[in-house]
């Protein structure tokens, strides 16, 4: 089943601002990272997927439904965590999440049970009876996540869930999102302008820029092709490079390092064999996972 | 060492397979939440002070009127007059409660959490409007019930007396409904224009009170038709005009608002005012939801 699919999706706001331009993308269930700079069109895309905005042209499908015509059905099965402050300060988290659960169509007692469950899953226990106004930013983000989870959606749309959090809070939030996507069996679309964050937890990455699709693929497809081994020897770098080239291993120089493309485990043996044969002092040999950011960095000049 | 008697198991995340209710139940949940908010229920003690102060005053007035009538036999005010006499309190109640219902949500940014849920976007303002109208109707109708109970069971005329009182009470309750509809729709529209509660409250009071001088000026103009149409200019006198036309002497022997033969004009104006306010309110929330 396709989780989210868009076809030539275009959104132009009044005043000629183009937020999305001819966006065609399809993703499978799982954890999807939607990355792009501020103003790239992430929030606009989310609002179209929720049926809050109508696209100027093109089509979108969420969980097999069209959000423009079946918006109520889509919204019953989707949970949304907005980017900005969204909590009334004088209500307690338990009351707010219960109320919003009822607005999602849960019967009264079920809403109360699921609200405390959802708050427990995001890590709020006794605090949930206190007014939200006194919460820390991290706790508020957790309440926002709990209200998106209360009605047991099939898809969560999270708009910048790590916004305003300190590094420890970011890690905790990302771990939570990862758990929701893997253990809870709920697909998650995480929006972020920080690629380094989402690539740690998602299976699929969609990158947009200026409302256009840069790239959409499985994270494994993006990284596996570029895994390299970095070899450093204290002396004899030239000899080793020559030797490896003879062994049919393409070598690139990067300062004192030799970068060898990792084909399979045999590559390690070949390199170690070559180093031993030449009797060189090996300084280090480690796998270098190419950060996805580098993929986009190399693409960007052609785009601009 | 005793064996542990209870162990807490983390049973993990549970999927929900039970029923999901439809639009009516969701509307009902929003409506009830709004009605509770209007009286400060489920809110801090501070939020309860004002609504219950007003409820206390109107109930006290009604109880006093009922007591005077049963002891001395003098009718201090009729059921329909009760709403007219309480108009100031109603205005202040709207000025406090309408911002509480809508401005707070605008300010805290909670609306995206509502509009990303399976309710049509018009349902949110309509549920709030209905909640405010119900609160106002209860505020004006509840005390009338107190007066009715006081009068019906001290009249000494048996069942016939109860029946006569009931026939007087029903128009009074309908008239209270008119007050509720007009004041709720105007008040909620004004309050929905801003997220600042103080501004919203000020705006509501301004709309209801600042229009009274206009009525005053128009009613001393040297034209009889203008004088008789003057009461259209302010919501409270507009409601009074409709009451004058529809209820006649139930509002007392002396007409509080002399409208001449323009009664139907007042009725149409009241309907148009409510319809216009509701339309603008829906338009307002179409814009808010798309943000």
Model ipTM?
A: 0.85
pLDDT, one tens digit per residue, over A115-126 is: 999 999 998 988
- Asked, for residue A252, whether it belongs to a domain, the answer is yes
pLDDT surpassing 80 at residue A227: no
Pairing type for strands A228-233 and A257-261 reads antiparallel
Q: What does residue B159 show for φ and ψ, rounded to 5 degrees?
A: -60, -35
Are A257 and A209 contained in the same domain?
A: no
Which among A188, A218, A248 is the end of a domain? Answer: A218
- Asked, for residue A25, whether it belongs to a domain, the answer is yes
Q: Do B18 and A110 touch (CB under 8 A)?
A: yes
Element (H, E) at B258: none
Task: Specify the number of domains making up chain A.
Answer: 2
Are A90 and A170 contained in the same domain?
A: yes
Are A71 and A196 contained in the same domain?
A: yes
Distance CA A111, CA B20 (A): 11
Of B14, B30, B110, which has the smallest distance from its Cβ to A88's Cβ? B110
Nearest CA in chain A to B15: A152
- Asked, for residue A293, whether it belongs to a domain, the answer is no
CATH number for position A17? 3.40.50.300
Give the pLDDT of residue A299: 47
Are A13 and A90 contained in the same domain?
A: yes
- Domain ranges, residue A38: 4-218
Are A26 and A163 contained in the same domain?
A: yes
Of A79, A88, A107, which has the smallest distance from its Cβ to B108's Cβ? A88
Nearest CA in chain B to A88: B108
Which among A196, A218, A240 is the end of a domain? Answer: A218
B22-54 CB burial, b ≥16 within 10 A, e <16: eeebbbebbbbbbbebbbbeebeeebeebbeeb
pLDDT, one tens digit per residue, over A155-199 is: 999 999 998 888 888 999 999 999 999 988 899 999 988 887 888
Give the pLDDT of residue B258: 75
Are A161 and A17 contained in the same domain?
A: yes
Are A39 and A109 contained in the same domain?
A: yes
What is the rounded (10 degree) CA torsion for B134, B113, A113, A71? 90
Give the pLDDT of residue B76: 75
Angle at alpha carbon of residue B34, lines to B33 and B40, rounded to 5°: 90
- Asked, for residue A223, whether it belongs to a domain, the answer is no
Q: pLDDT-based confidence at A294, cuts 50/70/90? A: low
What is the rounded (10 degree) CA torsion for A167, A168, A171, A175? -160
Of A86, A121, A152, which has the smallest distance from its Cβ to B16's Cβ? A152
Are A45 and A104 contained in the same domain?
A: yes
Contacting residues of B for A49, CB less than 8 Å apart: none
Give the pLDDT of residue A46: 92
Contact A64, A26 (CB under 8 A): no
DSSP B177-222: HHHHHHHHHHHHHHHTT-S-HHHHHHHHHHHHHTHHHHHHHHTTSS
Distance CA A40, CA A26 (A): 18
Q: Do A184 and B13 touch (CB under 8 A)?
A: yes
CATH number for position A266? 3.30.70.100
- Asked, for residue A304, whether it belongs to a domain, the answer is no
Q: Do B13 and A151 touch (CB under 8 A)?
A: no
Tokens of B183: 């004041």
Nearest CA in chain B to A96: B110
- Asked, for residue A39, whether it belongs to a domain, the answer is yes
Are A255 and A164 contained in the same domain?
A: no
Higher pLDDT, B66 or A287: B66
Q: pLDDT-based confidence at A260, cuts 50/70/90? A: confident
Are A63 and A155 contained in the same domain?
A: yes
- Asked, for residue A303, whether it belongs to a domain, the answer is no
Q: Do B26 and A103 touch (CB under 8 A)?
A: yes
Are A79 and A210 contained in the same domain?
A: yes
Q: Please give the average pLDDT of every successive group of 10 residues along chain B, which has 291 residues.
A: 57 85 93 93 84 91 85 78 85 92 90 91 93 94 87 72 82 90 94 90 90 83 79 85 79 68 85 94 85 67
Q: Report CA-CA distances (Å) from A246 to A239, A243, A257, A262, A272.
A: 11, 5, 18, 16, 15
Chain B nearest C-alpha distance from A194 (Å): 23
- Asked, for residue A276, whether it belongs to a domain, the answer is yes
Are A118 and A188 contained in the same domain?
A: yes
Give the pLDDT of residue A300: 44
Judge whether A52 is closer than 8 Å to chain B, CB to CB.
yes
């Amino acid at each position: 089943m396709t989780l989210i699919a868009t076809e030539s999706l275009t959104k132009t706001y009044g005043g000629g601002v183009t937020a999305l331009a001819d966006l065609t993308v399809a993703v499978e269930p799982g954890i999807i990272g939607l990355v792009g700079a501020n103003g790239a069109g992430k929030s606009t895309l989310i609002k179209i997927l929720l049926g809050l905005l109508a696209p100027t042209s093109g089509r979108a499908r969420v969980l097999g439904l069209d959000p423009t015509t079946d918006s109520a059905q889509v919204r019953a099965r989707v949970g949304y965590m907005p980017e900005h402050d969204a909590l009334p300060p004088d209500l307690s988290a338990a009351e707010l999440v219960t109320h919003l659960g009822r607005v999602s169509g849960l019967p009264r007692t079920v809403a109360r049970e699921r609200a405390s469950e959802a708050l427990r899953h995001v890590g709020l226990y006794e605090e949930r009876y206190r007014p939200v106004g006194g919460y820390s930013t991290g706790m508020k983000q957790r309440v926002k996540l709990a209200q998106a989870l209360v009605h047991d959606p099939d898809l969560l749309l999270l708009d910048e869930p790590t916004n305003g959090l300190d590094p420890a809070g970011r890690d905790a939030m990302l771990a939570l999102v990862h758990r929701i996507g893997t253990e809870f069996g709920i697909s998650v679309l995480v929006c972020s302008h920080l690629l380094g964050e989402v690539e740690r937890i998602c299976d699929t990455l969609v990158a947009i820029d200026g409302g256009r699709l840069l790239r959409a693929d499985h994270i494994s497809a993006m990284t596996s092709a570029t895994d390299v081994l970095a070899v450093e020897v204290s002396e004899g770098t030239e000899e080793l490079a020559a030797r490896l080239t003879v062994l049919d291993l393409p070598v690139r120089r990067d300062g004192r390092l030799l970068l060898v493309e990792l084909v399979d485990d045999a590559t390690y043996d070949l390199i170690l064999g070559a180093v031993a044969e030449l009797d060189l002092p090996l300084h280090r040999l480690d796998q270098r996972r190419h950060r996805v950011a580098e993929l986009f960095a190399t693409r960007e000049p052609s785009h601009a | 060492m005793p064996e542990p008697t209870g162990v807490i198991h983390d049973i993990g995340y549970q999927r929900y397979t039970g029923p999901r209710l439809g639009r009516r139940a969701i509307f009902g949940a929003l409506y009830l939440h709004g009605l509770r908010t209007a009286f400060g229920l489920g809110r801090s003690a501070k939020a309860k002070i004002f609504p219950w102060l007003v409820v206390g005053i109107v109930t006290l007035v009604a109880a006093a009127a009922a007591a005077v009538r049963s002891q001395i036999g003098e009718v201090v005010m009729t059921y329909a007059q009760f709403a007219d006499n309480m108009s100031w309190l109603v205005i202040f109640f709207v000025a406090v409660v309408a911002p509480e219902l809508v401005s707070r949500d605008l300010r805290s940014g909670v609306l995206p959490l509502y509009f990303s849920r399976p309710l049509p976007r018009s349902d949110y303002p309509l549920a709030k409007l209905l909640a405010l109208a119900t609160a106002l109707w209860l505020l004006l109708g509840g005390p009338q019930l107190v007066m009715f109970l006081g009068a019906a069971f001290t009249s000494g005329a048996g069942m016939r007396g109860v029946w006569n009182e009931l026939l007087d009470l029903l128009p009074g309750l309908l008239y209270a409904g008119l007050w509720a509809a007009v004041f709720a729709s105007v008040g909620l529209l004004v309050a929905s224009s801003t997220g600042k509660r103080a501004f919203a409250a000020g705006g509501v009071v301004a709309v209801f009170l600042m229009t009274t001088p206009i009525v005053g000026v128009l009613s001393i103009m040297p034209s009889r038709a203008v004088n008789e149409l003057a009461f259209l200019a302010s919501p409270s006198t507009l409601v009074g005009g409709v009451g004058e036309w529809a209820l006649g002497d139930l509002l007392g022997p002396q007409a509080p608002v002399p409208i001449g033969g323009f009664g139907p004009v007042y009725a149409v104006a009241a309907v148009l005012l409510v319809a216009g306010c509701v339309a603008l309110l829906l338009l307002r929330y179409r814009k808010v939801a798309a943000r």
